[in-house]
Chain A
Amino acid sequence: MIFYISIYKIILGLLSIYFIIEKIWRFYKKKQSLFKSFLMVVIWSFVFLFSFFPDITHAISKYLGLGENLNTLIFLGFVVIFLFIFHLLDDIEKLESDISEIVRKEALRGLNNIKK
């Protein structure tokens, strides 16, 4: 197997490493759950692996009996959709939390008058 380095491999590789480190860091700082961090690390690890060793997709396609590479593209499409969904869930979670915080602050505003 001849190993070529191209611009797209470098970009994808760096992006994957950045996101893998970022997800581990977010889990370490308790900003993301174990489940979500683990899933994101797995997804970005695959992106890293596929970008440097695209032949793996052929092997996987063969192994899974998918045959054509188009199927691999569809698989990658699903990966992208999953990434979008998880980003959306992240945003919704943050919004929910922000709304509650605003409501809480507003509710506690009058409390100074009744402090015992």
Chain B
Amino acid sequence: MEDLEKLYTSSKIFVVIPVYNESAIIQSVITEIQLAGYKNIIIIDDGSMDSTYEQVSKNDVIVVRHYLNRGKGATLRTGIEVAKMLKADVVVTIDGDGQHNPNDIKKMLYLIWQGNDVVLGSRLFNSKGMPIFKIIANYFGNLCTWILCGLWVSDSQSGFRAYSKKAIAMINTRAERYEYDSEIIREIYRNKLKFFEIQIEVRYTNYSINKVSKMNIKNGLDALFKMIIY
């Protein structure tokens, strides 16, 4: 248990947040993560056109900026690259729109400490409050991921995940946009990584539901096409 306490307070836990035009909410997301006890925050600004970059730069966080918008997959790859350069032991990825609760990170760290390589946050273990079209879309995404990637998971499109050092060294992705989340599942399967799914709290606010650049039908079909072709 002493080891676990060490892990909780380790300076080698990095929280990676991909952001794109999140100026309205990003400050509260950073503050919430810091209050939960995580000081190593890596923000990857994916070419935001609003004041997101200026806002995040005011905080005690590591900020890296893509000067062109390259998509969620490319942004997370950059974030994980940064974490690797900083010799991270555990990398946690979390969305920048405030829908995830940073207090769930502790549960993820515990599961990594127990020997899992990847911990996947699942919104569908308890889908209460989740819009019905999102539930259907998620099940469809899970089905496609299962057919194309060979592994059934309850929430293949969740952005809240934790990776051990071994996992970040082994996972090798090429996906640039939303197909990234499914590609991670394929990498788990291909590299025979030990994974665990946990229920996470999701806060559906008007902001997170109405965000234009989030996964929608068009992005979903685009991701499916890329998964098949590439």
Name A residues whose Cβ lies closer than 8 Å to a Cβ of B.
Answer: 33, 35-36, 89, 93, 96-97, 99-100, 103-104, 106-108, 110-111, 114-116
A103–B68 CB distance below 8 A: yes
Tell me whether chain B's interface is mostly helix, strand or loop, or mixed.
Answer: mixed
Name the residue on B nearest A36 (C-beta). B229
How many interface residues does chain B have, given as a range? Answer: 20 to 34
In the complex, B81 has a CB within 8 A of chain A: yes
Q: Pick the contact of A97 from B64, B65, B81, B176 — CB < 8 Å?
A: B176
- Residue in chain B with minimal CB distance to A39: B229
Inter-subunit contact A111/B229 (CB<8 Å): no
Which residues of A are found within 8 Å of B174, using beta-carbon distances?
A: 97
In the assembly, what is the distance between CA of A99 and CA of B229, in Å?
19
Nearest chain A residue, comparing its CB with the CB of B86 = A116
Chain A proximity of B185: nearest CB distance (Å)? 15
**Complex contact A107–B230 (CB within 8 A):** no
Cβ of B81 and Cβ of A33 under 8 Å apart?
A: no
Residue pair B70, A103 in contact (C-beta under 8 Å): yes
Query: Contacts A35-B229, A100-B176 known; A107 to B78 CB distance under 8 Å?
Result: yes
B212 located at the interface, meaning its Cβ lies under 8 Å from any Cβ of chain A in the complex: no
Please give the distance in Å from B82's CB to the nearest CB on chain A.
6
Instruction: Encode B53-91 as 1/0 by CB contact (under 8 A) with A.
Output: 000000000101111101100100110011001100000
Interface residues of B (CB under 8 A from A): 11, 40, 44, 62, 64-68, 70-71, 74, 77-78, 81-82, 85-86, 174, 176, 228-230
Q: Once the chains are docked, how many angstroms separate the CA of A114 from the CA of B40? A: 12
Pairs A-B, 7 closest by C-beta atoms: A100-B74, A100-B70, A107-B64, A103-B66, A104-B78, A103-B68, A33-B230
The answer to whether A108 touches B67, judged by C-beta atoms less than 8 angstroms apart, is no
Q: Which residues of A contact B228 (CB under 8 A)?
A: 35
Q: Could you name 13 residue pairs across A and B whose Cβ atoms are closer than 8 Å? A: A36-B230, A93-B230, A96-B176, A99-B68, A99-B70, A100-B70, A100-B74, A103-B70, A103-B74, A104-B74, A107-B64, A108-B81, A111-B85
Minimum C-beta distance from B71 to chain A (A): 8
